[in-house]
Structure 1
Amino acid sequence: MSTSVVLGRLGVLSKTVLGRDSQPGSVDGYLALLAPAVEGDTNLLWLSHAAIAAVFPRHDEFERFRRDQALNGALPALAALVAAAKRPFAPNRGVGIRIATDTIVVDVHHTARTGLATGIQRVVRQTILQWQGRAEVELVGWDANFTGLRHLSAPERQNALHGSVPRITRPRDWVLTIPFGTTYILPELALERGRTDRISCLAEFSGNRTTVIGFDCVPLTSSETVGAGMSAAFANNLAGLAHFDRISTISGAAATEYRGWRQMLSGAGITGPEIEPLLLPSVAEDVSAADFELARTRLLTGDDPLVVCVGSHEPRKNHLAVLYAAERLWREGVRFQLVFIGGNGWNGDAFRRQLERLQGEGRPVKAISAVSDSLLWSAYRLSYVTVFPSLNEGFGLPVGESLSAGTPVVTSDFGSMKEIASGGGAIFVDPRDDDDVYRGMRAGLTDPELHARLSAEAAALPARGWSEYADALWQYFVPTSQPV
């Protein structure tokens, strides 16, 4: 690495630490100025480590540096960092740095690069769309090796906001963005080990305010319903959050789970973050007349009532119970058509086999994976009733979305699903009892008075949009700010 790169990093670091431009002209001159200023200051030591190495440190790396500083003094410890950064195979040898002190750094790495539109991505995108008008917001992601944050490229930003430019080539030239004295917001789920290690160190030692949206603890509380390795990856995520300042969970049920985890942290002498629930909004989106008619053509066959089940085909979503109840109702002569909307999740082979068997027998059932927002919202409005008997959810977006569209829902009698639908419009069932799922679907399809009452209840529910949610979240994460 050239001396000019080192001098550039030291110049940026010196300006932040000393509050002025300093140009001593040599590495030794910069280190002589910086050493007394950072001596014994953990936050400034973290900043110095990240700035000189152009890599966010992991816990073990930072502890070695901090001990070196305590034992031998700041000057030799900083000099050792410079020497390590100059080694031929040091990471990010040619990468410059910038220190972000006047922006709120929002880490949307996965959302910016994925083509998925899961519940988490929908929450992230709707939230940052509301925040994009705030001048202080900076959307960031990580480099290819998860060594640090960087400003998003224009296509990545577009994908983060709208999901319209997936599979983006990473920019070759990038600058490490180091938050300092500001707020770091993580609105998505971070599972990558390198990423969570460095986030954990940032939260504990950098002095930044660290905040995150907590979706659920399903990989731990219902580990039998998730794919192999997910529970271990989620444990890494929780380890990364242990020193955060605040978690805003998407429901009271999710807050209960996260508070149980925080209580366990006391055994390791860790206080853990403040945890408060902020229920996600549920507002039906408008659909054009043309899109609605296209959806009708795609979703409906004949005039029988439509039942829609939204969610990926994984065990936790309980779609086999829905198929069982549907088959039983069809055999009894109850007329309706069933559409599943969602991608193929983990361990969905049994669902696909049952679906194909029923289709082979001529039953009116189908599954659609890739859908637009207009098709999804048309499906909610075209449905006579929706069904969502999940075994565990941090929120359960399809419940709130169905009710916001004025359509009754059959859903689980506990957790966030009952929390969302407590105001009316729902038939509650025990999702672990096939007969009860059958009972709920049968009532929704065959009792017109019940259906009319539930539809009226759903239509009367108060509307709360994403702008209200995003503003409340901002106030919780950045409490000194003012609403726009």
Structure 2
Amino acid sequence: MVEKRSGEGRIEAYLLQEMKAEIDELARSEVDDATKFFYVRAREFYWTVTRLLGLGRLHDGIWRKPSDDKASAWRTALAGDIPPPATHARLLVDMTATHRTIGRTGIQRVVREIARAMVESGAGIPVFMEDGRLFSHFLHDNLPNEVTPAAGDKFLLLDAGWHLTAEYSRMIDVVAQAGGETVGCLYDLIPILYPSVVTNSARRAFVEWFDLLIRKSDAIVGISKSVIDDLEAYARERDLPCKPGLRLGWWPLGADFRAPGDAAPSPNAVEAAAGGQPLFLSVGTLEPRKGHAVALGAFDRWWEQGADVRYVIVGAKGWNVRALERRILEHPEFGRRLYWLRGASDADLRYLYERTHALVFPSIAEGFGLPLVEAAHFGARAIASDIPVFREVGGDWASYFDPGDSDALLARLKEALAAPPAAPACDILSWGRSAEALARLLREGDYPARLSENVAQEAR
């Protein structure tokens, strides 16, 4: 069995509490029980049928399918000089899902930053799939229009492709038949390890994608060692079948922004930071695993004790948070000491990071935790849940509290307010250095582990 994670009992209690809040919120609806039942079943039927028919893009956000005359309009033109990419043994960096959508999730930030750094350095060619073919995402005279896989190529599945498994399966076969290799990218195992924090359809899609990575990838890279540790533990528990000799590695993410330093923040960001009170900031989509309810509970107690501090949440509304959304919007401090920015730009984030007293990162599960290194990049301290990946990324610089414990978080908040500012003592990478580390790992093939030899055989 997988070893029980630190604080797992408290995490389970927190998730049950949030689930009850969502059930209570549904009960507040004026819709009668029969209609609610019909709606839920109809929605599940819709998701199931569209998935079986290969139409998942209708509800997954991956709906753009370019025609020949429109394909270029969805590609990014590069100005200036860039080095021509290699002509053999190329690194083909997949960004299909990001190419087809306009979302700005944490994964898509990674994809965009790594892809641009790769093409600007000449280390790789960012590509997208269309009708069983690969095309360059970027437009430039030094880049090919269509990319045909060849012997020695490495096809890096950098993007969040779990709604496009069938397309990827076919392309992996094309790459293999041409004599190339496929390297899967794993951001986390959250839908598998914490199924209650995602929808059933999202979990099914992720499991299908994960199974594809394990069976067909020649190597898998994670965005942290903790992600690979989770993969090995899960594989050991389940005795997963995988491609023989499957290699495992990881690389660190970057922290700098592409937004110009002089880009103006929005009025909402300026208002959230105004007033002179100490500002505490959380960055991340509003969803149960992010722990915003834990943080809000800590600030509720602090405000009741007379503290004059601000809590600013930056992130889009996610799923299963209707009760939390109501709690925020109807909070007596909303617009006074409590703010929620749902459409923040990079300029807004820069503005808030530069003014925050501390980042508050109460997640119960993450694959890396970009806000930690972003806060360090801007010189802010951080208070984070005591989970393995945050210890890996934040080291001794961040302060930690037991996951799901509002009282423990409040104690760390008070300590942060009383302590003088301290420069972050962690390694802060640029996205250029992050992309360089990834390209070097893939080029040299110096992977620390092999799943089939170190894990699957042990399970037998």
Amino acid at match of 1:151: F
- In structure 2, which of residues 94, 104, 108 is the aligned counterpart of residue 107 of structure 1? 94
The 3 A distance-change label for structure 1 pair 342 and 324 is same
1:268 paired residue number? 241
The CA distance in 1 between the partners of 2:255 and 2:243, in whole Å, is 35
More helix, by proportion:
1
Partner residue of 1:456?
A: 422
Is the contact between residue 258 and residue 275 of structure 1 (CA under 8 Å) also seen in structure 2? no
In the alignment, which residue of structure 2 is the partner of 1:321?
A: 294
| Residue among 357, 362, 371 paired with 1:384 | 357
**Runs of 5+ unmatched residues, structure 1:** 1-91, 93-99, 158-173
Measure the CA separation in 1 of the matches of 2:150 and 2:313.
43
Match of 1:141 among 124, 128, 145: 128
Q: 1:233 aligns with which of 202, 205, 209?
A: 205
Q: Distance in 1 between matches of 2:122 and 2:242?
A: 38
Secondary structure class of the residue paired with 2:191: helix
> Equivalent residue of 1:473, what SS?
helix
The residue matched to 1:387 in structure 2 has which SS? strand
Provide the rounded CA distance (Å) in 2 between the counterparts of 1:336 and 1:461.
Answer: 27
Aligned to 2:404: 432
Report if the CA contact (8 A) 1:306-1:384 is conserved.
yes
Q: 1:475 and 2:440 equivalent?
A: yes
Deviation digits for residues 213-269 of structure 1, max 9, x if unmatched?
321111111111122222211111112212312222111111111223444675536
Matched AA of 1:465: S
Q: Deviations for 1:96-118, whole angstroms, at most 9, x for unmatched residues?
A: xxxx9664322110111211111
Range moving further from structure 2, 188-197 or 388-397: 188-197
Partner residue in 2 for 1:466: 431
**Alignment RMSD:** 3.0
Distance 1:319 1:358 in 2: 14
Equivalent-residue separation in structure 1 for 2:411 and 2:253 (angstroms) = 29
Are residues 1:151 and 2:151 paired?
no
Structure 2: gaps of 5 or more residues: 1-66, 68-86, 447-460
Cα distance in structure 2, aligned partners of 1:117 and 1:464: 21
- Using the alignment, how far apart are the partners of 1:478 and 1:462 within structure 2? 23
Aligned to 2:272: 299
Alignment of 1:245-394 (within 5 A): 245-263=218-236, 268=241, 270-271=243-244, 273-283=246-256, 288=261, 291=264, 297-359=270-332, 363-394=336-367
Identity of aligned residues (%): 25
Classify 1:396/1:480 alpha carbon distance in 2 versus 1 (closer, same or farther; 3 Å).
closer
- Is 2:158 the partner of 1:187? yes
SS at 1:132 equivalent? helix
Question: Hey, what's the Cα distance between the residues in 1 that align with 2:99 and 2:346?
Answer: 18
How many residue pairs get aligned? The number is 355
Matches of 2:308 and 2:349 in 1, distance apart? 23
Amino acid at match of 1:385: A
Listed one character per residue, the Cα deviations across residues 143-190 of structure 1 (whole Å, up to 9, x for unaligned) are 2xxx513314668x9xxxxxxxxxxxxxxxx97844444211111121
1:66-107 CA deviation, whole Å, 9 max, x = no partner? xxxxxxxxxxxxxxxxxxxxxxxxxx9xxxxxxx96643221
Quote the offset at 1:370 in angstroms.
1.3
Deviation at 1:470, TM superposition (A): 0.9
Q: Retained in 2: the 8 A contact 1:199–1:240?
A: no
| Aligned mate of 2:383, from 410, 414, 419 | 410
Q: Does 1:395 align with 2:360?
A: no
1:441, distance to aligned residue in structure 2 (A): 2.2
Structure 1 residues 268-302: Cα deviation after superposition (integer angstroms, max 9, x where no partner)? 36436211121223346786457369676332231
SS in 1 for 2:120: coil
Cα distance in 2 for residues equivalent to 1:148 and 1:201:
11
SS of 1:326's partner is helix
Write the distance in 2 (CA, Å) between the matches of 1:287 and 1:204. Answer: 41
Structure 2 residue identity aligned to 1:224: S
* Distance in 1 between residues matched to 2:266 and 2:134, nearest whole Å: 43
**Aligned residue type for 1:211:** V
Note the C-alpha offset of 1:202: 4.8
| TM-score, with structure 1 as normaliser | 0.66
Worse-superposed segment, 384-393 or 181-190: 181-190
